[in-house]
Chains A and B, each alone.
Chain A
Amino acid sequence: AQTVTQSQPEMSVQEAETVTLSCTYDTSESDYYLFWYKQPPSRQMILVIRQEAYKQQNATENRFSVNFQKAAKSFSLKISDSQLGDAAMYFCAYRSAWNNNAGNMLTFGGGTRLMVKP
């Protein structure tokens, strides 16, 4: 079974600065996907960024980028130029690439609460 671990329960960052959220995972599969989701105070989860394990290039979405280290099974999220609206819970998640019932399921980490100081 796959596991996803987020070792930082809380992080804080000054507005306009950069912060990195950590995520490690454990799997025996070679083909999979990794994601970061944001859960703002409204509590509706939003997909932030997606990384395919077979791609060496790190995914980027505007101010959000990842550092994907496949051998180390590490998948960190970097938020540049932090804004007050970035304050939220952030969840790392894993999905197998195999197209079966298990492939439909996401495995989530425990979350990191990000606070942004004005």
Chain B
Amino acid sequence: DGGITQSPKYLFRKEGQNVTLSCEQNLNHDAMYWYRQDPGQGLRLIYYSQIVNDFQKGDIAEGYSVSREKKESFPLTVTSAQKNPTAFYLCASRPHKDSPEKLFFGSGTQLSVL
């Protein structure tokens, strides 16, 4: 079945450690997005990519990095520079021809700090 797969479902980070969240889609979508969800704050955009080998910062990119080497994959690295990484992270994608709000979402990764 076509969809977006995020892994792992739960992730724990130690102080000073970088961790990478995986996002894979087999929908042949051009654009991919990473959102952070905190309680009571809704979703905030971290990074997005509209084509392979290109990506742009969102509203809260500091402390995060991404790559887009393949159309299907858009991994997010939470670096040690992100001082408050505990949150729920959602990946999304959409075809270019569709309106920006017609996003397909994954089931998310809950990141916690040990």
B34 lies within 8 A of chain A by Cβ: no
**At the interface with chain B, which of A43-51, A69-77, A79-87?**
A43-51
- B32-49 interface bits toward A, Cβ cutoff 8 Å, 1 = contact, 0 = none: 000000001111110010
**At the interface with chain A, which of B20-28, B65-73, B75-83, B98-106?**
B98-106
The size bracket of the interface on B is 20 to 34
Please tell me if the beta carbons of B107 and A43 are within 8 angstroms of each other in the complex.
yes
Q: Which residues of A contact B107 (CB under 8 A)?
A: 42-44
Q: Which of A6, A9, A95, A108 contacts B44 (CB 8 A)?
A: A108
Q: Which of B50, B59, B99 has the largest number of chain A CB atoms within 10 A?
A: B99
* Bound: A109/B43 CA distance, A: 8
B111 lies within 8 A of chain A by Cβ: no
Please tell me if the beta carbons of B105 and A106 are within 8 angstroms of each other in the complex.
no
* Bound: A16/B42 CA distance, A: 28
Smallest beta-carbon distance B98→chain A, Å: 11
Interface set of A (CB-CB < 8 Å, partner B):
4, 6, 9, 33, 35, 42-47, 50, 91, 93, 95, 101, 103-106, 108-111
